[in-house]
Amino acid sequence: MTARSRCCHGLAWLAPIVLLLAPRPAAAQGSCAPGQDRVQLRVFPGAIVFPSPGPADFSTGWIESSPVRIRIRGAGKETWTLCLRSEDPDLGGGKAVGDLQWRVEGESSWHPLSLTDQPVVPGLGNDDVQLLFRVLLDWASDPPGDHGTLVAFSAPGG
């Protein structure tokens, strides 16, 4: 199953960015390729609205979300790989979809969101995965307007 969510954040002089999160069809074991659904996904919360960033956020270069929990159920003793991707080619107004980054809570590396499925973490059985999202900010290049994307999750099982 796949989950979808929409995310957005606002720039000081722009409207907020919203991230919508939602499940989507699963992929084959160990990959993000379409495959047989064996698990159920729930995404909490289903949408993230980043607050309008202030000068300090632009100085830092990003604004970060609260954790997002992906609940994987129905896997029994099956293995799965949590995957995600953007459903939109950009965040609106030409802001690159890769300016929205994600990481597994507890890890230090951030990864740019893309239009192709990205493996997030492998797992076994029922589990919860916590993700963080952040939006890169740049006074000079961020276009004004509303920004957001639909983030699709899947957890293909084996």
Report pTM. 0.80
Domains and CATH numbers, the chain: 2-154 (2.60.40)
Q: What gap in Å lies between CA 19 and CA 16, rounded to an integer? A: 10
Q: What gap in Å lies between CA 89 and CA 12, rounded to an integer? A: 23
Instruction: Please give the single-letter amino acid code of residue 104.
Output: V
Q: How far is CA 13 from CA 43, 49, 79, 113, 120, in A?
A: 30, 16, 45, 24, 33
Q: What gap in Å lies between CA 142 and CA 61, rounded to an integer? A: 11
Mean pLDDT of the chain: 78
Q: How far is CA 40 from CA 2, 34, 96, 157, in A?
A: 8, 15, 30, 10
Is the pLDDT at 68 greater than 60, yes or no?
yes
Task: Express each pLDDT in 5-61 by its tens digit.
Answer: 444 443 333 334 555 655 555 444 456 765 555 677 788 878 888 888 888 988 999
Q: Is the dihedral of CA 135, 137, 143, 146 positive or negative?
A: positive
Q: Which residue has the higher pLDDT, 73 or 131?
A: 131
- Taking Cα atoms as reference points, which of 82, 101, 78, 76 lies closest to residue 7? 101
